[in-house]
Amino acid sequence: MTETSKYSDIARAKINLTLHVGPVQDNGYHPLHSLVVFADIGDRLDGQMADDFGLKIKGPFAKHTPGGDENLILEAVKTVAKHNDIQARLAYTLTKKLPVASGIGGGSADAAAALRLLAQAEHISWSEHAEDFLPLGADVPVCFLSRTCVMEGMGEQILPWPGLGQIPAILVNPGVGVNTAEVFASFDNVGMSSDFTLPAGSLLHMAKAGRNDLQGVATRLQPVIETVVEAISRQENCQLARMSGSGATCFGLFSNQSQAEKAAKNIRRDYPDWWCISTLLGDAA
């Protein structure tokens, strides 16, 4: 390993096709059941050998992203390095392409990518110990895997589900942030509980069979989410429109890429202040 060693990874956007949430437990966490897929777009993270950990942020959403020790990247790598006697030090450069606080796992995906780069630098594998990353955030373990899966428990129970392929989609964010803690607090006030068994089938079939238990409460906090879902639903050949995670990003599923690209073009035309992009969700064969 030399001082010029460089590493690179993509922090793929995480999409909850379904999100079923149980009542808060004595430990303060909500049991989850979610069909999770990852987009073929994401933030780019580069790392280079350095004397100490560091982080630079650039890109279209850089100004909205916390820097320094407030960023989950540095918190994650410093915590893991301390407890695993890691010797390598990487200076990270994050190109932030995904909206912040948007329900697509941006911060967690960035932290997970940083841990993957650190593993490359140290020539070690943490894939079988991803649940150890749970204290960094419920989405970090699943973002570390970055594959289609079912996530349960507090986020530590991850069942990979290969062979489901990809589905064309659009992602739309209206430019508002949603505080996850506020969404869950509102969910608790509603007093809902959710029992759900995921049926086997295609990604579209499984997504249609489920729901997002947080969509209603998130919409009450940010009513524009309903406008986004309706705008997606109106697009020709849209198979399903739903919010991802705790919001505010929503997705639309389509039968082919040309339909998704046309829908994204329409939404960008009608709502120029929104972030909208066409993508493929799931794992390539």
Sequential DSSP letters for 11-28: EEEEEES-BEEPPP-TTS
CA distance 239 to 43: 27
How buried is 3 (Cβ within 10 angstroms: 0-12 exposed, 13-18 middle, 19+ buried)? exposed
- Catalytic residue flag (residue 78): no
CA distance 142 to 147: 8
Catalytic residue, chosen from 14, 43, 110, 213, is: 14
Catalytic residue, chosen from 9, 43, 139, 213, is: 139
Q: How far apart are the first and last CA of the chain?
A: 33
Distance of CA 89 to the CA centre of its chain: 26
* SS3 label, residue 223: coil
In one-letter notation, the amino acid at residue 94 is: L
- Nearest Cα residue to 92 out of 54, 119, 63: 54
CA distances from 27 to 6, 24, 108, 173, 260 (A): 41, 8, 21, 32, 41
* SS3 label, residue 190: helix
How buried is 117 (Cβ within 10 angstroms: 0-12 exposed, 13-18 middle, 19+ buried)? buried
- Catalytic residue flag (residue 58): no
| Contact assessment for residue 148 and residue 38, using Cβ atoms and an 8 Å cutoff | yes
The set of catalytic residues is 14, 139
